[in-house]
Amino acid sequence: MASVAASVAAAGPKVLVAGKAAGTVLRSQMPINFLGTVDSQTGVINDPHHDLHGKSIRDVILVFPSGAGSSVGAYTIYAIKSGSVAPRAMICQRPDLTVATGCAVAGIPLIIVDKNQSVESDSILKSLQTGAQAAVDTSMPRGSIITIRGDCSSHDAAKA
Amino acid sequence: MNLTRSEEAALAGEEGEVMQIAYRILVATGEATDAERLIPIQWAHLSGVNYNTIGAAGREFLADLSSRGARVRVRTTLNPMGYDVDGADRHGLADEFVSGQESIADSYRIMGVAPSFSCIPYEIFGMPEAGSQVAFAESNAAIYANSIAGARTNKESAFSALASALTGKSPYSALRRDAEEASATRVRMKMQDPDELTYGMLGYFAGKAAGTESQVDISGIKASDMDMRQCKAVCGGMGTSGTCAKFRMVGADHDNDDDVRGSKPENVDFDRDAVRQVRDELDTAENGDIITLGSPQLGLWEMGDLVERLRGRSFKKRCLVFCPRAAKEQASAPQYRYVQALEAAGCEVMADCCTCLSPLVESDSIDAVTTNSIKGAFYMNKASGVGVELKTLLQILEDETH
């Protein structure tokens, strides 16, 4: 297992579902249970206990720790894509099968960036704050899969 | 992940769009689980059946797949749907729900899936020999397969199990490879003489304690201490609270150190405080309007046991008993007549569906439900907006029958 971890660390961001997208980052500190937390008609997070409560995940680059909860949440990801209210790409810190397979069926690019993987991954995660402009292109070399055009207030605030 | 030449071809679309989608799902699953190749599986069990959960988009996805020739390649069984097929009229369900549910059931039938509508495939069909590779999406069934039956499965998503059904394959993940690796967390069971409600709480607590790990150890009890009701309670509780796919019961001795990785697990106690924590979260109502038994669904043994415990008494309020159709038919047979006895005691015995996420148990008609199921309590509280009064089966029989 150690050798696998080492090779992943050397490689940086890991692609679970390939694709290309660009948009504004929406960042959550909490796992997302797509079944029951996301309104599949509107793409709005409707769980009052969630830090994205009331926010729409439509057309954003959605950054969150991982999926959680029911395995059927994969269908919700497909449903929000069918209804044109899905994120353009998702970036998680840990892989889980619900989000991975939902994105695979929906054709939503999905990248794993674990801050413990490398200094570079940690730095990418720190830059992926709500409001930042980010682009994902899985055909690029691994170090350039995610590019961030900073200048968001929260990121600047974090640096300052 | 390394694919064979024919798998690569299928991923590229050379076997048609259905196989291409299936292999895309398997590749994402393999990358997520650090698997290096695909291996054959012998049984898939699918979630994504209830119209309440997959909705119109899911119905159309499955109709599209089945019309494009999707057919399962291995034995495939199915989770519960939204209601008992025999009772669709008297449940007073909306036409849209019934037609959506019927379409989903039709699509699976066309694909060759057995219409088992059950969350306890391990009980009604029996499990293959230890070490067998299966792909179970229902969380309590995946945990039962890995922890009690000695089979191997990921805690599959609805789509990864479907892809495994359509291809007969699944990524060779750590859960499929490593039979006896010790866990990072050990939950020390400190409650004496546990009933099924305590076992359900233990599962729920241990699933949370495992965090992002895929398995957890439990000391202080042995798997052989548990009857079927208690086993199902642990598996159901654990399946709802986290992503943990397996528990190992490492024996009565809390300090028994068989850690093959050489590192000590982190110990967490399941004690009175832990019980209180779970109660605070899930025991949310004073007095249920109705009683539900089943999540996981009841099998033949539990129905017979319930009849015996009732001893001719009957329920004072509505009591819904959820079971698979196969178990209901068996329990109706002349040598058992459990269903007849339960109905005489005032129970409504529902096949094909379960407490969780059924439109039969929703907040517009029901404020609170009494149950002994932690899994049921979780979904009623979080998804159906219904309050829950948690009681053991014995307590329910004492308080709610005459």
Q: Is B157 on the interface with A (CB under 8 A)?
A: yes
- H or E segment at B371? strand B368-371
Of residues B333 and B242, more confidently modeled: B333
* DSSP character at residue B70: -
The ipTM (two decimal places) reads 0.90
Of residues A27 and B224, more confidently modeled: A27
State the Cα–Cα distance between residues B168 and B144, nearest whole angstrom.
21
Are the beta carbons of B158 and A110 separated by less than 8 Å?
A: no
Given a cut of 60, is residue B56 above it in pLDDT? Answer: yes
Given a cut of 50, is residue A7 above it in pLDDT? Answer: no
Residue in A42, A75, A99, A112 to test binding to B, most B beta-carbons within 10 Å: A75
> Which amino acid type is present at position B326?
A
In 3-state terms, chain B is what percent helix, strand and coil (to 5)? 45, 15, 40
**For residue range B71-119, what is the model confidence (pLDDT) as tens digits?**
999 999 999 999 999 986 768 889 999 999 999 999 999 999 999 999 9
Report the gap between the CA of B139 and the closest CA in chain A (Å): 8
Give me the mean pLDDT over the B169-187 stretch: 90
* DSSP character at residue B367: S
Report the gap between the CA of A5 and the closest CA in chain B (Å): 9
Token pair of B380, please? 């009623």
Q: How far is CA A12 from CA A8, B120, B300, in A?
A: 6, 41, 52
Given a cut of 50, is residue A119 above it in pLDDT? Answer: yes
State the Cα–Cα distance between residues A123 and A27, nearest whole angstrom.
15
Q: Yes or no: say if A43 and A86 are a contact pair by the CB < 8 Å rule.
A: yes
**For residue range B111-148, what is the model confidence (pLDDT) as tens digits?**
999 999 999 999 999 999 999 999 999 999 999 999 99
The predicted pLDDT at position A153 comes to 45
Are the beta carbons of A96 and B60 separated by less than 8 Å?
A: no
Are the beta carbons of A101 and B29 separated by less than 8 Å?
A: yes
> Using CB atoms within 10 A of its CB, is residue A94 exposed (0-12), middle (13-18) or buried (19+)?
middle
Q: Is A11 on the interface with B (CB under 8 A)?
A: no
Give me the mean pLDDT over the B155-169 stretch: 97
**For residue range B353-397, what is the model confidence (pLDDT) as tens digits?**
999 888 888 878 899 999 999 999 998 988 888 999 999 999 999
Q: List the strands of the sheet with B290-293, edge to edge.
A: B347-350, B319-322, B290-293, B368-371, B387-390
**For residue range B18-34, what is the model confidence (pLDDT) as tens digits?**
999 999 999 999 999 99
Q: How far is CA B213 from CA A94, B33, B185, in A?
A: 11, 12, 9
Mean pLDDT computed over every residue of chain B: 94
Which of A28, A56, A66, A70 is catalytic? The answer is: A70
Are the beta carbons of B48 and A75 separated by less than 8 Å?
A: yes
Given a cut of 70, is residue B262 above it in pLDDT? Answer: no
Q: What are phi and psi of B317, to 5 degrees?
A: -135, 175
Report the gap between the CA of B130 and the closest CA in chain A (Å): 24
The predicted pLDDT at position A6 comes to 38
Neighbour count for residue B286 (Cβ, 10 Å): 9
Given a cut of 80, is residue A150 above it in pLDDT? Answer: no
The predicted pLDDT at position A155 comes to 42
Name which of B163, B174, B383 is nearest A36 (Cβ-Cβ).
B383
Give me the mean pLDDT over the A72-83 stretch: 95
Q: Yes or no: say if B388 and B284 are a contact pair by the CB < 8 Å rule.
A: yes
Q: Is A17 on the interface with B (CB under 8 A)?
A: yes
- Give the list of residues 6+ apart from residue A80 with CB closer than 8 angstroms, or none: A38, A40, A43, A57, A58, A86, A106
Q: Answer yes or no: A70 catalytic.
A: yes
Q: List the strands of the sheet with A14-17, edge to edge.
A: A14-17, A110-112, A89-92, A61-64, A20-27, A133-137, A146-149
